[in-house]
Amino acid sequence: MASSSNSEIARVFFPSYPMFQLYKDGRAERLRKTVTVPASDDPKTGVRSKDAPVPPLSSARIFLPKTSDPTAKLPLLIYIHGGAFCIESPFSPTYHNYLTSLVAKAKVIAVSVQYRKAPEHNLPAAYDDAWDAINWIASHIERNGPEPWLNENADFDKVFLGGDSAGANIAHNMIMKSARDDQVRLKLSGLLLMNPFFMNDEPDELISFIFPSSKGPNDPRLNPACIAIKELAAGLVCKRILVCVAEKDFLRERGVSYYETVKNSGWNGVIEMVEIEGEEHVFYLFKPDCEKAGELMDRVSSFLNL
């Protein structure tokens, strides 16, 4: 039997929104379980969804919109969900509903990527899984991959990476990694960063715990501002970037700093930023029917179709 001292809680991440807790004996216990919903055909929008394995360790949910021409090639969005690298899933009601609405509005095919979460799987596991997903998607370029919807419906000349919060961080890192990997086969058109998480110069206790091999604020995976300007500009191998921030978001300044850094880097592309007044972090996920969420959805849809 464990001693009472070993069973004592040493730390909770975070008391205001508990995700997991640490015991003095080093154990971690998850406090927030992710509710999931099955893939389905949505009767309201006509959007279809299905799940697919992504070797070697992950999976994804694929969303296909209803169109007048079922053979049409559609822009492809690779979406990476947020959740502080610790919680949430493409299969949760929150992200299933959001991607269903976005796909219906923008008429894009979307692949919502699952990745391993901390504290069971510390970073960089999430980066590794996202990279595996990108390469799995690229296996469909010749129209002979394992997933028929991608073979038949994806326009591989219009591929976007996107995500929110921690997922936006992962999306940024994937586009930087693609610039360094000669084997990557996807041509990336744009990068969509929704309320992105990027470190500033302050210590982050959660990141210190779930990413022990990182250099903290001096790690370019966490803080793009620490990268040499020329390296940052060279790594953004796409034509357009949209950064979305919210006025009351605790991560707002990090998103604004990213926008300003890229804009002044000499990058040969177009970066835009949209700020939603009076709203908090990822408000559009929790209040999808509010007017401002609708306006943001319109802006994102336009970005994916330019």
Q: State mean pLDDT over 138-160.
A: 97
Q: State mean pLDDT over 202-216.
A: 92
Q: What is the structure's pLDDT at 4?
A: 47
Number of domains in the chain: 2
Q: What is the pLDDT of residues 2-16, one digit of tens each?
A: 444 568 999 999 988
Q: Assign 3-state DSSP to the chain and report helix, strand, coil percentages, each to 5.
A: 30, 25, 45
Based on the domain organization, do 21 and 100 belong to the same domain? no
Based on the domain organization, do 241 and 114 belong to the same domain? yes
Measured distance CA(67)–CA(60) in Å, rounded = 22
Q: What are the catalytic residues?
A: 165, 249, 281
Which residues pair with residue 64 across a beta bridge? 48
Based on the domain organization, do 18 and 166 belong to the same domain? no
Domain residues for 88? 38-302
Based on the domain organization, do 105 and 22 belong to the same domain? no
Based on the domain organization, do 93 and 216 belong to the same domain? yes
Q: Which of 92-101, 176-185, 275-284 has the lowest mean pLDDT?
A: 176-185
Based on the domain organization, do 209 and 298 belong to the same domain? yes
Based on the domain organization, do 79 and 152 belong to the same domain? yes
Measured distance CA(21)–CA(155) in Å, rounded = 44
Based on the domain organization, do 96 and 120 belong to the same domain? yes
Query: In 3D, which of 150, 46, 154 has the Cα closest to residue 100?
Result: 46
Q: Is the pLDDT of residue 78 over 80?
A: yes
Based on the domain organization, do 7 and 112 belong to the same domain? no
How much of the chain exceeds pLDDT 70, in percent? Answer: 98
pTM higher than 0.75 for the full model? Answer: yes
Based on the domain organization, do 21 and 122 belong to the same domain? no
